[in-house]
Amino acid sequence: MKGNFVYANPTKLYFGDEAQKNLADALKNFGKKVLLIYGGGSIKRNGVYDDVIASLRTAGKEVVELPGVMSNPTVDKLNEGRVVARENNVDFILAVGGGSVIDYAKAVSVAAWYDGDAWERFWVKQEDPQPGERIIPVGAVLTMAGTGSEMNGGSVITNHAANMKIGKVFGEEVFPKFAVLNPVYTFSLPHYQMVAGIFDCMSHIMEQYFSGDDDSTSDYLAEGLMRSVIASSLVAVKDPENYEARSNIMWSSTWALNTLIGEGKTQDWMVHMIGHAIGAYTNATHGMTLSSVSVAYYRHVMKYGLSRFARFARVVWDIPAEGKSEEQLASEGIDALADWIKKIGAASEISSLGVTPEMIDGIADATIIFDAGYKKLTPDEIKEILRHSL
Ligand code: NZQ
Ligand code: ZN
């Protein structure tokens, strides 16, 4: 393992088909006034809302509701939420939903008691809250697996006026205090969203895996998670109510992005940077923005990290290595990824998400470029990858 790191994760997880039975107890550790944040109403249709309200009652809470969090939550919605949190002087935020709702809850948690422009400070300038600043604690009930937001400090906010979608990774103080993970809650997800979440999870693992060249335990953990996600996804797309598959997907998604498999490593994240720029232009579903550019991106950078891509083919996809050059093997691994994307029904083309050739220059300009993958991309290379993904 390279480098020096501190590992701690403050989020307590309650997992399983009876996980919600712990919610009332978990809530008892926090103040009386709870801001209940949720999305467009799926929780009212699938019964999750009723479970949550019953637990809030049992725990003796006073509830203020803040519904209507959209996918890819916006700055305008954030500004609405911070006013509600502040005016009601809430003690705790309970986020019930997918990554968008949980990300949004974290954003409200840090922004509510800050008087200035929160977007500019936390997302554009990437500042952290200072010690002593008031942060409202957050808890989560997860209804969609994929982002890992239930056990991390990530909060992605979109500013449509500026064509920008930016993720801020906050520190431990902003991680959810607890998360309730009931795989059955994900059964009502539309097929498209389930698949998007599966690819998002896979992409988080690949973003951390495709960087560095030392022998690291983190990469072996990543390989195990990828194998589990692939196996479970193939079951879940045919049989969405298969508890074994959906529970594995939920657990893998949490561990894919709760900092564990990135320890001691550099990390790439360029697929996400391109995906976020596509999202800023099209408001497309996050996981699909990733699936539609991944194959072109990995084919483009493969030669700079050949041995890792060959290992990916061999270990993750079980492709026999005998008689093949490293390049051939590596390339077959990316072919296997492309086949899997088609098999599970994730998007393979950005044109299917509303991207037009005229948008490519703007999307490339809006892409934040990191230098920790196998190749630091130039804006021209991003345009080429986008053209290949059309
Ligand atoms: O709004 P509701 O009615 O809840 O419907 C949602 C939404 O339409 C629906 N849904 C969720 N659970 C459901 C359900 N429908 C039926 N039954 C259920 N059980 O699914 C739709 C998508 O939900 P959303 O929360 O938007 O999806 P996801 O979990 O993929 O979150 C996406 C957001 O997370 C950010 C993305 O950029 C995007 O803004 N990310 C956050 C990360 C983090 N915190 O670390 C990392 C990720 O890479 C990602 O960037
Ligand atoms: Zn993601």
The predicted-structure confidence for 322-341, as pLDDT tens digits, reads as follows 999 999 999 999 999 999 99
- The protein residue whose alpha carbon is closest to atom 31 in ligand 1 is 99
Mutate to test the pocket of ligand 1, among 50, 147, 283 (most ligand atoms within 8 A of CB): 147
Rounded to the nearest 10 degrees, what angle do helices 326-344 and 286-301 cross at? 160
CA of 266 to the centre of ligand 1 (A): 27
Give the integer Cα–Cα distance in Å for 37 and 54. 16
Q: Report how far residue 15's alpha carbon sits from residue 255's, in angstroms, rounded to the nearest whole number.
A: 13
159: which strand partners? 164
Helix (H, G, I), strand (E, B) or coil at 92: strand
pLDDT of residue 26: 98
Ligand 1 centre and the CA of 76: distance in Å?
18
Q: Return d(Cα 215, Cα 31) in angstroms, integer.
A: 46
Which residue's CA is the nearest one to ligand 1's atom 26? 71
Pocket test for ligand 1, best of 46, 49, 100, 155 (most atoms within 8 A of CB): 100
What pLDDT score was predicted for residue 156? 97
Output the pLDDT for position 110. Answer: 98
Closest atom, ligand 1, to C-alpha of 149: 44
- Name the phi and psi angles at 35, rounded to 5: -90, 115
For the CA of 39, the nearest atom of ligand 1? 1
Conformational region of residue 269, where left means phi above 0, alpha means psi within -120 to 50, and beta covers everything else: left
Q: Which residues of the chain have pLDDT under 50?
A: none
- Using the mean position of ligand 1's atoms as its centre, give its distance from the Cα of residue 304 in Å: 33
* Residue pLDDT, tens place only, 220-247: 999 999 999 999 999 999 999 999 999 9
Tokens of 248: 């594995």
What letter would DSSP give residue 210? Answer: S
Is 356 buried (19+), middle (13-18) or exposed (0-12) by CB count in 10 A? exposed
Q: How many angstroms does the Cα of residue 357 sit away from the middle of ligand 1? A: 27
Q: How far apart are CA 219 and CA 210, in angstroms?
A: 9
For position 24, what pLDDT does the model report?
98
What does the chain come to in residues? 390
Per-residue pLDDT at 319? 98
Ligand 1 mutation target, pool 144, 157, 189, most atoms within 8 A of CB: 144
**Structure confidence at residue 375 (pLDDT):** 97
Residue 382: its pLDDT value, please? Answer: 98
| pLDDT (0 to 100) of residue 372 | 95
Instruction: Report how far residue 333's alpha carbon sits from residue 337's, in angstroms, rounded to the nearest whole number.
Output: 6
Which ligand 1 atom lies nearest to the CA of residue 155? 44
Which two tokens mark 270? 């360029």
Ligand 1 pocket (Cβ < 6 Å) reads 39-42, 46, 71-72, 97-101, 103, 143-144, 146-149, 152, 154, 156, 167, 185-186, 188-189, 193, 196-197, 200, 257, 272, 286-287
pLDDT of residue 338: 98
Task: Kindly report the protein residue whose alpha carbon is nearest to atom 25 of ligand 1.
Answer: 98
Q: Which residues contact 156 (CB under 8 A, 6 or more apart)?
A: 72, 73, 99, 103, 165, 166, 167, 168, 276, 286
What's the pLDDT score for residue 172? Answer: 96
